[in-house]
A and B are shown apart, each in its own frame.
Chain A
Amino acid sequence: MTIRVLVAKVGLDGHDRGIKVVARLLRDAGMEVVYTGLFQTPETVAIAAIQEDVDVVGLSMLSGAHLTLAPMVVDALRAKGSDIPVIVGGIVPNNDLEDMRAAGIAAVFGPGASAEEMVASINEVVSRARA
């Protein structure tokens, strides 16, 4: 079954180079990709993810707000009874990885992650969620 991905920008961070490039790379790998556009809130992302019936939510975060905002997206989804996994790409220092995992983030991609790594990891996250 084709994997559906919602890629989203939460908060005020306008850096959208990465999210657009990743969206196309995931499409090249055969996934269906929906993009929310800029300046979303955790709530609007959760609603869009459920409405679009996606398998995974990918957040692109380059402003340093990941530890605040990414867990809020997970919480907003769970509060709506959804168990859609959330992954994060962007500038996330290694020191933060443990806190991100503890907050329920299924995977984190740092700068320089290759298309193959991301595709493999999404496949794994989704098959775990579907199992």
Chain B
Amino acid sequence: MTTIATDLLPAQRTSRHVWNVIARDPLALISTVVIILFVLLAVLAPVIAPYPEQGQGRTNASESMDPPSAKHLLGTDRLGRDILSRIIYGARPALVVPMGVVLFAVLIGAPLGALAGYKGGWVDEAIMRLTDLFLAFPSLLLAMAITASIGRGLDKAAIALVVSWWPWYTRIARGVAVSLKEQYFVEAAQATGVSDAVIILRHILPNTMSPILVQATVDLGTVILAMGGLAFIGLGTQPPAPDWGLMISEGRALILDQWWISTFPGSAIFIVVLAFNLLGDTLRDIFDPRQYK
């Protein structure tokens, strides 16, 4: 029954169509390639990194703060660790954790939104007012307050971001659910006596997915920035683990002389976020999830 629904929804497009649009837009294509490259860096870190042990944190005091050279392409940090290797290892938390954050935010947010939109009435009212409360905080400020409450670290920062991010997906899912409720296939399911739970799970939720996926791509960039920011402040990844945001903060005091320590990890964050934003922009043009807000 969901396949019938596909044709009714403007937001539903085939993956082939998506691929065609991306292939035609040079910026989106480059972005996709950049993202794939960084994912490969993260996965193959032990193979690619010139100094894998330093990438993971082992220090090398004799080569402290060496400028970029043939031996250390991007130079070394205060503790003599190869910056390139640390950036390559840093791609792991920088990509994997934000993806996890967005995934969990969707897993919490989307079903709640589908439930609110489908049920309407007091259920809708209760869920949506709850999202209002969370959205009343600037997200990063709420995340900071949460880490203050549960402690710092990569995992804690991730939890904090999930808690401040899920309401956005609730809003989108609710918007879709409200528009689906009146559709024939949902009414047909109701008429044949399918239970509400099954209707939400089988018919509503799958149809909320494509606008949510688009929003998630756009959000990934923002979440990477937020994670970087938390690490920069000292609330995320703790040393000696490799993390781009943390690396920037480690080199901050040396920025005028040993500029390479902070600027290369900074560029890494910037490039990845830019890639996600460009790709998200193209995807949004295809799906336009705003129509549901």
Decide whether A and B assemble into one complex: no
